[in-house]
Amino acid sequence: MKNKKIFLAEQDIPKQWYNLVADLPEAPAPPLGPDGKPVTPDMLASVFPMNLIEQEMSTQRWIDIPEEVLEILYRWRPAPLRRAVYLEEYLKTPARIYYKDESTSPPGSHKPNTAVPQAWYNKKFGIEKLTTETGAGQWGSALSFACDIVGLECKVYMVRISFDQKPLRKIMMRLWGGNCVASPSEETSFGREILRKMPDTPGSLGIAISEAIEDAVSDKTGKTRYALGSVLNHVMLHQTIIGLEAKKQLKLAGEKQPDIIIGCAGGGSNFAGLSFPFVCDKINGADITIIPTEPTACPTLTRGPFKYDCGDMACKTPLLAMFTLGHSFVPPPIHAGGLRYHGMAPLVSHAVKEGLLEPRAYDQVKCYESALLWAKTEGAICAPETSHAIACAIEEAEKAKEEGKEKVILFNYSGHGLMDLSGYESFLDGKLTRYSLSEEELKKSLESIKDLPEVGT
Ligand SMILES: Cc1ncc(COP(=O)(O)O)c(C=O)c1O
């Protein structure tokens, strides 16, 4: 009999996070301040607590996970590694398809892996309130959950389109004590400015981030900070617990190493979390194909330039060296809200630049078709973001069949889609189109960054 679930004992949970920066052949380009020089820790101090800034800038390979953080993570970690045997049988593929099931966390995705340590470090630093953005609502609910456990207030700016599409996420946030408003909102000067200029905008993560940062830095008490759910180095770091667990579990399953690793990439965190411990193996000579997947509607890695750009629309963040569609990009209202981000984590971007990763883009109809096949074989209903990883896993399993090769495929099941059913309804009603960003729109959006510095100049 084929094992369908591979569990790791609680005592075998990884006790340290892995920092890819220590092993990259070339150091990534540093974030730049408004003066065009690399940012210093004190320049970030009004936005993040110093203990997280230290992690953000760390080049240390292994960083201890505090015991109190592990105590919270034990609520759902170690997360199961599962084998998609029913999908394998349907596809008649010789490939063995494994997936790390991050949907078992209380809010239903990988996001609490970083929400918990971020809330914990802020609390430790004496902070009383966190502000944040959320796309699909997974991050907002994860941070609300984490703040509730450690005892912080939480304010969430939710991208307008998701706010309307996913009303149940708002209730989850409320239940955990989070205060969620639609972005752009009337609550910040940037939100009001955008509403004046674009009253019907669906919003974007870039706008919501600007609002959340403005809210945090304008608090006169100095007790509010901002938390980001993806993109930054410390977020990638916290998520590596996924890949570190998966490595141990693959060994338990009798596999030497995966041939193919896949994760959907919005800001890059669940992809990085699963793949970075294996990217280290690849740097050291392992033959692994590592694929971040994204929507053709928001094709940051596959069509954007690698350039310095701001992380938000109002340019309140430092300039980050990353693949980007331009910070003024407002992506089409596709249902994978968490993948509608103009940029990509600098560490993921750097690894793509170094040829360590091979990004691919899929349109939303293909992704929903894959999600439907998943639901009909494996049974579970995945998040629309996750369907971008499933589409690629199916493609690779079919390729293995054509080639007659027994490949080991590992992907990240980043979340469930039980709060995202309206997207499924539109798909089942035949109302979704195969969005692909046009050259014209891309060119227009890149206008906003033409004067920003090139990387390495
Ligand atoms: C379930 C799920 N998967 C993936 C993502 C994409 O984010 P990231 O690329 O940071 O993992 C999100 C973001 O909201 C999400 O909710």
Which residue, judged by its Cα, is nearest atom 13 of ligand 1?
338
* Ligand 1 closest atom vs CA 337: 14
Q: Which domain holds residue 345?
A: 5-12+65-108+233-449
Q: Is residue 159 part of a domain?
A: no
Q: Is residue 30 part of a domain?
A: no
Dist. CA 346 → ligand 1 center (Å): 16
Alpha-carbon gap, residue 307 to 322, rounded angstroms? 6
Q: Is residue 402 part of a domain?
A: yes
The answer to whether the beta carbons of residues 432 and 364 sit under 8 Å apart is yes
As for ligand 1, residues whose beta carbon falls within 6 Å of it are 109, 135-136, 138-139, 230, 264-271, 338-339, 383, 385-386, 414-415
Alpha-carbon gap, residue 452 to 442, rounded angstroms? 16
Q: Is residue 366 part of a domain?
A: yes
Q: Is residue 194 part of a domain?
A: no
Which residue, judged by its Cα, is nearest atom 6 of ligand 1?
266
* C-alpha gyration radius of the chain: 20
Q: How many domains does the chain have?
A: 1
Is the model's pTM score more than 0.95?
A: yes
DSSP conformational letter for 83: E
* Ligand 1 closest atom vs CA 235: 10
112-124 vs 138-150: helix axis angle to the nearest 10? 40
Q: Is residue 81 part of a domain?
A: yes
* Ligand 1 closest atom vs CA 230: 10
Dist. CA 422 → ligand 1 center (Å): 18
Dist. CA 264 → ligand 1 center (Å): 7
* Ligand 1 closest atom vs CA 103: 1
Question: Any residues with CB less than 8 A from the CB of 79 and at least 6 apart, and which?
Answer: 100, 101, 102, 104, 105, 242, 245
Dist. CA 107 → ligand 1 center (Å): 12
116 closest CA partner among 91, 134, 90, 141 = 141
Q: Is residue 184 part of a domain?
A: no
- Pair of tokens at residue 33: 């301040």
Q: E-assigned strands of 152-259?
A: 153-159, 178-183, 224-226
Mutate to test the pocket of ligand 1, among 385, 388, 390, 418 (most ligand atoms within 8 A of CB): 385
Question: Along the 457 residues of the chain, how does pLDDT read in single tens digits?
Answer: 789 999 999 999 999 999 999 999 999 999 999 899 999 999 999 999 999 999 999 999 999 999 999 999 999 999 999 999 999 999 999 999 999 999 999 999 999 999 999 999 999 999 999 999 998 899 999 999 999 999 999 999 999 988 988 889 999 999 999 999 999 999 999 999 999 999 999 998 889 999 999 999 999 999 999 999 999 999 999 999 999 999 999 999 999 999 999 999 999 999 999 999 999 999 999 999 999 999 999 999 999 999 999 998 889 899 999 999 999 988 887 787 789 889 999 999 999 999 999 999 999 999 999 999 999 999 999 999 999 999 999 999 999 999 999 999 999 999 999 999 989 999 999 999 998 999 999 999 999 999 999 998 6
How many C-beta atoms surround the C-beta of residue 347 within 10 A? 25
Q: Is residue 143 part of a domain?
A: no
Domain with 440 in it: what CATH number? 3.40.50.1100
